[in-house]
């Protein structure tokens, strides 16, 4: 789960690179970012559950 979250952040990082310097996301990228951020929230929640149980 640690790697999954790191890799999701990496995918978000790539969006930042591809849209620099203005970071204005078109519809496709916005949807992609939304999906990645949703995944990240789930991955962090799972991490919390596993590490703090």
Partner 1 sequence: MRCGIGIEARQVNELYINIDPIQAGGRLTADAMKAVIAYGDGYSVCDNCRKPNRLDYISKPPIAGFHRDVAAWLNMDAVRTVPGARRGFQAVTNTYVSKGDPVLLTSLSHYTEFLAVEETGGIVREIPHDSAHKITADATATKIEEVMREFGRVPVLAFIDHVDYQYGNMHDVKAIAKVAHHYDIPILYNGAYTVGILPVDGGDFGVDFIVGSGHKSMAAPAPSGVLAATKERAGEVFRTTTIKGDVTNRTFGIKEPEMMGCTLMGATLVGMMASFPQVKERVKHFDRELENNRRVLEALLSVTGTKILSEYPRNHTLTRVDTLASFDTIAESHKKRGFYLSAALEEKGIVGIIPGATKVWKFNTYGTTPQQAAFLADAFVAVAMDNGLPHNA
The residue among 1 and 11 lying less far from partner 1, judged by its C-beta, is 11
Q: How many CA atoms lie within 13 A of 16 on its CB side?
A: 7
* Smallest gap from residue 5 Cβ to partner 1 (A): 11
Cα(28)–Cα(14) distance, integer angstroms: 14
The residue among 17 and 53 lying less far from partner 1, judged by its C-beta, is 17
The residue among 25 and 53 lying less far from partner 1, judged by its C-beta, is 25
**Rounded CA Rg of the chain:** 13
Q: Where does this chain bind partner 1 (CB under 8 A)?
A: 3, 6-7, 10-11, 13-14, 16-22
């Amino acid at each position: 789960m640690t790697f999954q979250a790191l890799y999701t952040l990496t995918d978000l990082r790539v969006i930042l690179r591809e849209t620099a310097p203005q970071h204005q996301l078109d519809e496709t990228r916005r949807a992609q970012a939304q999906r990645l951020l949703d995944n990240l929230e789930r991955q962090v929640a799972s991490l919390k559950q596993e590490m703090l149980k």
